[in-house]
Structure formats: C-alpha cells, structure tokens
Structure 1
C-alpha cells in the first residue's frame, strides 16, 4: 500500500499497462477466400512470402496434352526458323517413340552457347521467359504449358555430337530430332536426389519403351549413382529389363 493513497494497487508486476482502446496493434491477420469468390476463381488461393512482404500467388492450371502439342509445334518452329539446334526430350520424346501421353512440361535440349538465343527466340514467339536460379536450364511459359530449355544436365554434355546422335522423328506432323530412350532414362536417373525420388514415372517410361532400351548402356552411364542402381535393381526384379 502506497503511503497516503489508502488503496492497494491491483496491477500485476511485470505486466505492461494497457493503453487506450486501439493503441495495441494486432500482430497478424488471416486472409480467407471463399471457394466461389471472384479471386478464388482467378486462382488467388494462397499467400506466398516475397522479399517486400506478401504477394498473392496465381496457381497455373495443368495443361492438357493437346495444349502441350500445340506449344511443341509453335516453339519448335520458332527455334528451327531461328537456326537454333535442339533435341526434344522428356516425356514427349517417349510418347513420340510409342510411350503414353504426358501432361508434364516440354523439354528441349540446347547447347550452352545457344541457350540465351533460344530463350530470346521463344520470348519473341510470345512465351514468357524465366531464368531460374538452378543454372542448368531456362524456362518459358506458354499460358499453362512450361517449356524447359536444358543446356547443362547432370552427367550429359549437350554438344554437336549429342544433338546429331538423336535421330529425326515425326512428332505431331513435324520432323525434329528426338532424344533416344537411353538418353531420356539416363538424364532422368542422374537427376534423382535423396529428397526427389520419383521411381513411378521412371518405371512408366521404362515399361513403355523397354524393348528399345540398351540396358547395358544405361547401367554403364549411371553406375556411379546409388539411386540409379536402386532403380535398375527394381526393373530387374520386375523383369522389365529382360
């Protein structure tokens, strides 16, 4: 009790005095979007951290296979007319050799010295260019279709010999160089990391073109990768490689 006050203070020690109403700021807020709202329909469905604070991120819808093929025709024609050598890889290369349809991105392999020019050509054709921090590929967006320009893949050197070693195949009524199944499998196997193991899609690829694959070559070129060894053991046990 303070001298002369006649009252006992009920304020707890260590607790700051509450100021006037409205003087304390809320430390956070939550943005909720109803599923039927205009913003939600436009794809604004999550907050993504950005250096300057927060921004609304638009989620790209997954492209259909028909959209993928249209982008393939458009982008390959632009590269060919500009004189940029390229090879089609990835899931579409497997499809061109009898594999299943894919709704993943398009993979074009280009020489390192042609990568900047290839990205510029696609930008001039109307695609949205992007330079990710990985340092071994560039990207270009055609609406919901992603085109990867790969110039420095793990375990493979993209040079004249690599490009000329890919035979010409007609893909969606357009002739172009298409990666051999062995090269598709090797590049995918060597890209496997401990936290990004996707054996399901690799197994689908292997089953689709099993008779076209030189399995001894794949083993020789990936023998230093434990993840490739594990996959090759799997295809042996499943009798995919026999």
Structure 2
C-alpha cells in the first residue's frame, strides 16, 4: 500500500512512517499543506493521512481542494482537534475517517486498512495487474497465473512500485527513493540484488518475462510488446 502522511509534527511523522515501513508499506511524508495538495494532485496513493493544523494550508482546506479537483483518495484526519463539531467538519470537508491524538498505532493501521478495502474509484486501485501478474495491496498477496508468489516485504514494495509505473522505465535512483527512501546513492548493489530476487520469483517459473532491464537506464515491468 502507498500512503501519504501530511503531518508537521516531526516525532509523529517519523513514528507513523516508520511503523508503516516496518509493515512493508510505502509511506511518504510531507510537513506543509500546500506541498501536500500538490503531491496529491500529481501522484497516486491508496490512502492519505492528514493533520488538521498544518502550515501553508490547513487540513480542512486541503481536503476540500482535492475533492474539488476530483481526487477521490480515501482521507483519514489524524489530529488533536477532537470535538464532535470538529469531527463533523472534517467529514463534511470530504474526509472519510477521523482519529484523534493521542492514538494507538494498531488502531491507525486498522482504520487505514479499512479505507483501502473500500470499493475503489476508477483511479484508485487496490489490486494491480500486469498481464497474468496480480498484486493485492490490501491482502498483500502476489499471484501469477493463479499461483501464489511468496515475497519479502521489500520485494513486495519493489514490485508495487514497478507495477505502478505502467510500463515506464524506472531508473535506479527512482527505485532507491521510492522503495528504500534513499535520497542519495549508497554505492551498493541493493537494487540489482532485489531485482534479481524478484525476477527469480515472478519471471523464471513462467514462460513470458515481465520484468525487463533497460541497459544503462533502469527497469520496466510490462508484457512483451
């Protein structure tokens, strides 16, 4: 699952992001409302977690803006503003759920999973497909030709990022940022090693390869053209 957390409290942001990362999800973080609005209108996420009190643009205005822009991503407000009227305001602004701080991380995960299980809008997918390869983002299950493929958490995230690429070439740098959250080159073969492991699981047992190496450029996941 790919999650966007818009939260300006650094400790809360790190706590939530680390928790989702340990569970094998991608959790991008932004600490400014205007930046969050820009990100939600140009990138695809499964769920957004939004604080009410944000610099740049407050959470209510942010959610109203994305709804006006026809962005239908499920939104959970995570905030210390917990009065009944405040919750009503959040839901009427376009939020789908509301959780008050302090909170239990287990409850946050349960609520996010519940939002992700809702019937998707046309632009919001919980099952990714490329040819006969399927990735269920909620059940965290990969299958090809009906056969279950066992993936480690990082392999699952890597496959998710590749499948979301819609056949586009993703460079090594892009994969380091989106899968490992590295904004620098660690000078290791971590990408190549995981690509090799992933290819052994999703391609080698099957007749048609889907994971392609584009020499001196990167990697692409698509059916043969």
Structure of higher CA gyration radius? 1
TM-score where L is the length of structure 2? 0.32
